[in-house]
Amino acid sequence: MALTYKLVWHNLSEHLRQFYQISGLRVEDFKKDEYDLNCAYHKIEELWTKNLDEHIKSVRYILLSEAPLWGNDKKYIYNPDYEKDSIFFKCTDLSFALGKEISTKIELVRELNQIGFLIIDISPFALNSSTRINYTSLSRKKKNNYPAFLNPLIDSFLRAKLEKVKNKIQGDVKIFYRYPRTEKHLGDSIETLLKEYGLSVLQKPNNNVFKQGGGVDKVRLRNILDYLYFKMMLESFIGNIPQESGFIKKFRLHQGWWRTFVLNEPEGVYTDSKGNCSSVCNRINNGKKSLKNFLSKEIADSVADALKEQKISGSGIMDEDRLYNNLLSSQPLAFNLFAFFNNNKGLALEFLKTIRPDITYFDKVVFEYAPDSNKDSSAFDIGFVVKSGNKNGYIGLECKYTDTFSYRRKGGKVNYGDKSEIEEDQNYGNYFKLYSENRDRFPDDYFSYVRSKDYNQLFRNELLAVQLKSNFEFVVTGLFCHHEDKETINSGKEFQKKIGNGVNDFITLTYADYFERIQKLNLSWVQREQIMMLWVRYCGLRLSRELLNTT
């Protein structure tokens, strides 16, 4: 690196020497200024590169400036040892633009880095009042030496900067000048270079932030950062968004949008397994009191009843905190979409007929239901007690939102029901016995079910189903998940092939199926409005899509 700087400076020094000679300046002046400028150049390059590499994840804004003043005080915005801000860029400038308190230079630089705001100098020469030339004098009309001195540096020095920056550029980068004189004298050359990188300077009046009389034009800076200001305000409303991607990110963010703009609730706090408190956008506080995780009082009452029943039966798992406060949980989703069936049995029957036309009677919907003979915490998330003619039947569904299939207990070395030389799961004996007694239901090898993370949970549901045969004359199992969750849907379709009579006895129902089928039924306006709100909450990603694009 030191060698690279030395070689680069050799060419820069020769350019400086020739300019001093043409300008009629003494050799002694050149030697003194060249030494000082050389020292400044090396240090400034080191500080700029360090800040870019270590503190800026992505570049969204580029301010094109001339060069730091440096001098004896080493004045430079990226020099942490120089603790004062300056007229070049003051704390109050950014504070006004972002609408937040920024009182120290450390905070100023930190905020700039966080928003992807990078300052790029077009010149390697830190000219100031101590050098024989400076940028103000160079730009005076009588001499007009500004372009003659700086134009030759654009294709080399500025290009080298852009090469370092190009891999961090994200989206539509906003580029603007600190001083209008830079664009006036060098704009064509700079624009030509920027085009090679797919970049361009903003149009007037946001092409620079110079304020007549000195300093930064705060209003113009805020206009340039306006989208960011809006984004920051929006994120402050939405709350903490974990670093995620893909499927779960957009649905967590959507629930944050629902909490903010529909429920009008502040961001919720939770305690993790280590006892640490944190906040996240998809949670609310005091949900048991407000009941806002549910779309109606009727649904919330069903939740309270189900909790009482679960405590008595001990089947399944119902976590009150997740039920009442976690908007992203699949358990409250199950209640929101199906609990109202118990008070609308005619509607429930018509809906279930779209799944199984032979259903003639609907008794009730149950949650976290398992047979009394069950020896673990497995349970159907959603269950419908029905009849087909005189035959009593049960339809049990596994419900998924963004959660994945469970297949191994925490700290376990093997999957639920598995057995190996390393470890034997505590439920192996019971699972294998049920499997062996129902080979018509399980035609494949036992371990092909339990050792697959895609099949393990669905297989455990089938073990529940075979135990329910003593209570019901037919049992249908299935999977209920989002229509965009292709991985889960595919797992359901493949699992269907691994069980006896799977075509008839295992169903995959998506959210799209649910809404399409239920909207075709004879609903009251109140019911139809509730169904539409359910679609907005769990499927209406178009409403929060632009928010996703800002994060």
Whether 269 shows a pLDDT value over 80: the answer reads yes
pLDDT at position 306: 92
pLDDT tens for residues 27-66? 998 999 999 999 999 999 999 999 999 999 999 999 999 9
Instruction: Give residue-wise pLDDT tens across range 232-267.
Output: 677 778 888 787 778 898 999 999 999 999 999 999
Residue 365 pairs in a beta bridge with 384
When pLDDT is cut at 50, 70 and 90, the band that residue 3 belongs to is very low
Q: Is the pLDDT of residue 143 over 80?
A: no
Residue 14 has pLDDT above 80, yes or no: yes
Number of C-beta neighbours around residue 231 at 10 A: 16
Asked if 111 and 98 touch (Cβ cutoff 8 Å), the reply is: yes
Q: What are the residues whose beta carbons fall under 8 Å from the beta carbon of 14, sequence distance 6 or more?
A: none
* Higher pLDDT pick, 400 / 317: 400
* Average model confidence (pLDDT) across the chain: 91
Cα Rg of the chain, angstroms: 33
Q: pLDDT value at position 545?
A: 80
Q: Is residue 290 classed exposed, middle or buried when 0-12, 13-18 and 19+ CB atoms within 10 A define those classes? A: middle
d(CA 273, CA 392): 43
**Nearest alpha carbon to residue 551 among 264, 244, 263, 224:** 244
Q: pLDDT at position 362, please?
A: 98
Report cis status (omega within 30 of 0) of the bond before 124: no
Q: What does residue 387 show for φ and ψ, rounded to 5 degrees?
A: -135, 150
Residue 457 buriedness (CB in 10 A; 0-12 / 13-18 / 19+): buried
Say what the pLDDT of residue 373 is: 86
Give a three-class secondary structure readout of 171-202. EEEEEEECCHHHHHHHHHHHHHHHHHCCCCEC
The Cα 335–Cα 342 span in angstroms is 11
Nearest to 382, CA basis, from 441, 461, 453, 457: 461
| pLDDT at residue number 5 | 64
Helix (H, G, I), strand (E, B) or coil at 419: strand
Residue at 367: amino acid letter: F
What is the model's pLDDT at position 89? Answer: 92
Domain boundaries, the chain: 2-233, 330-550
Ranges of H-type helices in 283-427? 287-290, 297-313, 320-325, 330-338, 345-353
Task: Name the residue among 78, 355, 61, 79 with its Cα closest to residue 201.
Answer: 61
Q: What is the pLDDT of residue 171?
A: 73
Contact 330, 401 (CB under 8 A): yes
**pLDDT tens digits, one per residue of 503-530:** 789 999 999 999 999 999 999 999 999 9
Other CB atoms within 10 Å distance of the CB of residue 8: 17
DSSP-assigned beta bridge partners for residue 270: 278
Q: Please, which pLDDT band fits residue 2 given cuts at 50, 70 and 90? A: very low
**β-sheet with 361-369: strand ranges across:** 361-369, 380-388, 391-399, 474-481, 506-510
Residue 229 binned pLDDT confidence (cut-offs 50, 70, 90) = low
Would you tell me the crossing angle of helices 27-55 and 2-22 to the nearest 10 degrees? 140
pLDDT in tens, 417-476: 999 999 999 999 999 999 999 999 999 999 999 999 999 999 999 999 999 999 999 999
Residue with the larger pLDDT of the pair 313 and 531: 531
Distance CA 136, CA 150 (A): 13
Residue 333 to residue 323: CA distance in whole angstroms: 9
pLDDT at 537 over 90: yes
Identity of residue 94? L
What integer is the mean pLDDT of 129-150? 83
Two structure tokens written together for 452: 């697959």
In tens, the pLDDT along 358-378 reads 999 999 999 999 998 888 888
337 with 534: CB under 8 angstroms? Answer: yes
Percentage of residues of the chain with pLDDT beyond 70: 96
